[in-house]
Amino acid sequence: MTATEPDSPIAAGLVLPRYTEASLPRRFGHVLLRFARRQPLSAFWGVIAALIIVVAVAAPVVAPYDPLRSDFRRMQKSPDEKNWFGTDQIGRDTLSRVIHGSRTSLTVAFAAVLLGTTVGALWGLACGFFGGRFDIISQRIIEFLQSFPDLILAMAIAMALGGGLGTVIVAIAITRIPFGGRIIRAVVLSLKEMAYVEAARGLGASSRRLMFRHILPQCIAPYLILATTHLGVAIIIEAALGFLGVGIPPPTPTWGNMLADSLNAGLVPPWWLVLFPGAAITLTVLAFNLLGDGIRDMLDPRLRGAV
């Protein structure tokens, strides 16, 4: 991971070596442009992901109706020109609910991945850096966490803490910790052997300086890759938790809740209540997955398959 390797983050163009003259926004623009040129497919899906984020942020403006208001004259209507995606059992507009559902979904996904990956990465950094008994004990703890399938662990924690936005975020974040911990630890271990770190140590750099000045910056690329590749999984786990009834409690519209509700509509769920929320999940996960793949290929192709 030295700066001299041709496929290092610096050469790949994201971790820029000191451009003192360029302003930050312009630098950012350059990076985006280069990304679009190298990974056109991912850039396209990145645009879709950005659109989804915009819709989520502007949900009250974009949604045609209030997602919580029931219209009892129009209950369980199939899609028509008034309600494009139809209405549910108590006459709420499905399109508005899908749009508002994106808010919850994205909030949970971003918060959980940010929290989980950051905690995991810092933990992995400490493990790799200090080693010794701390590392051995930490590895055991991470192994315990990894012996639960993701969804089951998230389900148990969400159930134990009681439903709600915060608990769902924490539950999903905890399932993301081992990934950050393992990968960042491996990166740090390989960095520690690098000649430039040895040299810095030989020059008498303190361990704090070594950690923050020489090792931490090299962990940023893997950290970003981890965070983006786990967004999709987080969205799916959030939807599954909602579907199983341990997510964010109704009436908050989330995609998982909507799918669970559709099964309560009677023996045969109306097709529009099943199709649209699920399609929203699929589209969002697809967009974030492909964007993540592109970012990974650009920042560090060697991590392919590792995260």
Partner 1 sequence: MFSYIVRRLAFGALTVLGVSIVVFLIMRILPGDPLTAIFGPEGLTKLSAEQRASLIAELGLSKPLIVQYGEWVRDIASGSFGHSFFRAESVADMLQRRAPLTAEIALLSVILSWVVGIPVAIVSALRPNSIGDNVARVISILFLAVPGFWLGMLIVLGLLFGFGYRAPLAGASLLQDPQANLQIVIGPAVVLGLGQAAYIARMARSSLLEVIREDYVRTARAKGFPGRRVIFAHALPNALLPVITLSGVLLGFVLAGSIPVERAFGTPGLGFAMFIAVNERDIFVMQNLIFLYAVVFVMLNIAVDITIAWLDPRIRLQ
What's the CA gap between 77 and 183, in Å, rounded?
Answer: 49
The SS3 assignment for 93 reads strand
Of the candidates 168, 120, 161, 158, the residue with the CA atom closest to the CA atom of residue 141: 120
**Between residues 70 and 282, which has the closer beta carbon with respect to partner 1?**
282
With contacts defined by CB under 8 A, name the span among 24-32, 86-94, 97-105, 272-280 that binds partner 1. Answer: 272-280
DSSP codes, 23-64: -HHHHHHHHHHHHHHH-HHHHHHHHHHHHHHHHHHTHHHH-S
- Token match 């990145």: residue? 46
Q: 100: which DSSP letter?
A: H
> Is residue 64 within the footprint of partner 1 (CB under 8 A)?
no
> Is residue 133 within the footprint of partner 1 (CB under 8 A)?
no
CB of 246 to partner 1, least distance (A): 5
Token pair for 173: 């974040």
**Between residues 145 and 165, which has the closer beta carbon with respect to partner 1?**
145
- Specify whether the CB–CB gap between 36 and 285 falls below 8 A: no
> Is residue 112 within the footprint of partner 1 (CB under 8 A)?
no
> Is residue 4 within the footprint of partner 1 (CB under 8 A)?
no
Residues 152-211 that bind partner 1 (CB under 8 A): 152, 155-157, 159-162
> Is residue 302 within the footprint of partner 1 (CB under 8 A)?
no
Q: Find out whether the peptide bond into 251 is cis, omega within 30 degrees of 0.
A: yes
**Between residues 172 and 219, which has the closer beta carbon with respect to partner 1?**
172
Q: 70: which DSSP letter?
A: -
What's the CA gap between 307 and 55, in Å, rounded?
Answer: 29
Q: 250: which DSSP letter?
A: T
Residues 228-267 that bind partner 1 (CB under 8 A): 232, 236, 239-240, 243-246, 259, 262-263
- Specify whether the CB–CB gap between 297 and 10 falls below 8 A: no
**Between residues 218 and 257, which has the closer beta carbon with respect to partner 1?**
257
> Is residue 276 within the footprint of partner 1 (CB under 8 A)?
no
CB of 132 to partner 1, least distance (A): 19
> Is residue 300 within the footprint of partner 1 (CB under 8 A)?
no
> Is residue 131 within the footprint of partner 1 (CB under 8 A)?
no
What's the CA gap between 2 and 194, in Å, rounded?
Answer: 8
CB of 290 to partner 1, least distance (A): 7
The residues, ordered by sequence, that sit 6+ positions from 105 with a Cβ below 8 Å of its Cβ are 56, 235, 238, 239, 254, 255, 281, 284
Among positions 122, 275, 303, 306, the unique one binding partner 1 when judged by CB under 8 A: 275
Question: Which residues would be at the binding site for partner 1 (CB under 8 A)?
Answer: 140-141, 143-145, 147-152, 155-157, 159-162, 232, 236, 239-240, 243-246, 259, 262-263, 268-269, 271, 274-275, 277-278, 281-282, 285-286, 289-290, 304-305
